Amino acid sequence: MAKKLDAIYASPLDEMIDFRFDERVVDVFPDMIQRSVPGYGTMISTIGILAARYAQEDSHCYDLGCSLGAVTLSMRQRITKPNCDIIAIDNSLAMIERGQQLLSSDQTSSIPVTMVCADLQNVDIKNASVVVLNFTLQFIAVEERLLLIKRIYQGLKPGGILILSEKIAFDENAKQEFHIEAHHDFKRANGYSDLEISQKRSALEKVLIPETLVSHQQRLKLAGFDFSELWFQCFNFISLVAIK
Ligand code: GEK
């Protein structure tokens, strides 16, 4: 399937509608995320490598907010433990339908995958060795985040991991400005115009709520994780791994 280019915010919009993961976004999603998130490709392939190390025999691996299943496919290609399966969840039906098509043409492994359209907040997490929230927690209401992380902690087996990737904010104005400008330069270098950058920013304003790295680290601790480590950062995009 040829990759379609993201031009959703290329023309001026009269009225800014909050960002939604609908069919228009699904069509251009691989291009959009690659050109918008610095290090996305590295993160996807490295999550597969981490999952291969921490996946346990007879356990579930979860990809929460899976979109088209990039993390799922990466884990599927790497995990070698017997009786492991992957449960991939997204609440956008358009994402799940397209993700299932992509999954059906993946011949790289025989690890079973269940891809389900559901709100991840209603999904039971149990007998898990790997749980991934790759740029998903940022779309959950801030006051609901601790409960979700606690549920993940409780659903993990000892030695299991949570991988948490997020766009972050900074307390210091100078740092906030530096990272935002650097991220916008990254988007410009990938062909987005100033109009596209500013319209996308407005569309995401009320939908994607970034927090500081310290807030994420404190929440992980509060949920029960004694060990967490920053394993990736490029500008204001980070990924943490927490081990139970
Ligand atoms: C990737 N992980 O390619 N329940 C289920 N899904 C949700 C919920 C929810 N409550 N809220 C948001 N989503 C992917 C990228 S994108 C990140 C993740 C981005 C889903 C939403 O439908 C979307 O598909 C995904 O979370 C976030 O590695 O586009 O910035």
Residue 239 near ligand 1, beta carbon < 6 Å: no
Position 24 scores a pLDDT of 77
Weakly modelled stretches of the chain, pLDDT under 50? none
Residue 89 near ligand 1, beta carbon < 6 Å: yes
The residue assigned the tokens 């990938």 is 190
Residue 178 near ligand 1, beta carbon < 6 Å: no
Which are the contacts of 14, defined by CB distance < 8 A and separation ≥ 6?
Answer: none
Buried b (16+ CB within 10 A) or exposed e, 173-189: eeebeebeeebbebbee
48 - beta bridge partners? none
Q: Do 205 and 167 form a contact (C-beta atoms < 8 A)? A: no
Residue 115 near ligand 1, beta carbon < 6 Å: no
Residue 65 near ligand 1, beta carbon < 6 Å: yes
Q: Do 9 and 82 form a contact (C-beta atoms < 8 A)? A: no
The closest of 238, 183, 243 to 215, measured between CA atoms, is 238
Residue 119 near ligand 1, beta carbon < 6 Å: yes
Position 204 scores a pLDDT of 73
Measured from the Cβ of residue 172, the count of other Cβ atoms closer than 10 Å reads 9
Q: Which of 135, 144, 167 to mutate to test the pocket of ligand 1 (most atoms within 8 A of CB)?
A: 135
Position 2 scores a pLDDT of 63
Name the residue with the closest Cα to ligand 1, atom 20.
65
Rounded to the nearest whole angstrom, what is the distance from the C-alpha of residue 81 to the centroid of ligand 1? 27
Q: Round to whole Å and give the CA distance between 5 and 39.
A: 19
Name the residue with the closest Cα to ligand 1, atom 26.
65
Q: Round to whole Å and give the CA distance between 138 and 46.
A: 21
Which are the contacts of 236, defined by CB distance < 8 A and separation ≥ 6?
Answer: 167, 168, 169, 170, 179, 180, 182, 183, 210
Domain regions of the chain by residue span:
40-169+208-243
Q: Round to whole Å and give the CA distance between 52 and 33.
A: 24
The residue assigned the tokens 């606690």 is 150
Rounded to the nearest whole angstrom, what is the distance from the C-alpha of residue 66 to the centroid of ligand 1? 6
Class of domain 40-169+208-243 (CATH, top level): alpha beta
Position 20 scores a pLDDT of 74
Q: Round to whole Å and give the CA distance between 33 and 72.
A: 16
Rounded to the nearest whole angstrom, what is the distance from the C-alpha of residue 141 to the centroid of ligand 1? 13
Q: Round to whole Å and give the CA distance between 62 and 155.
A: 11
Position 207 scores a pLDDT of 82
Measured from the Cβ of residue 220, the count of other Cβ atoms closer than 10 Å reads 22
Position 195 scores a pLDDT of 76
Residue 134 near ligand 1, beta carbon < 6 Å: yes
Measured from the Cβ of residue 89, the count of other Cβ atoms closer than 10 Å reads 22
Residue 67 near ligand 1, beta carbon < 6 Å: yes
Rounded to the nearest whole angstrom, what is the distance from the C-alpha of residue 137 to the centroid of ligand 1? 8
Rounded to the nearest whole angstrom, what is the distance from the C-alpha of residue 132 to the centroid of ligand 1? 11
Position 179 scores a pLDDT of 97
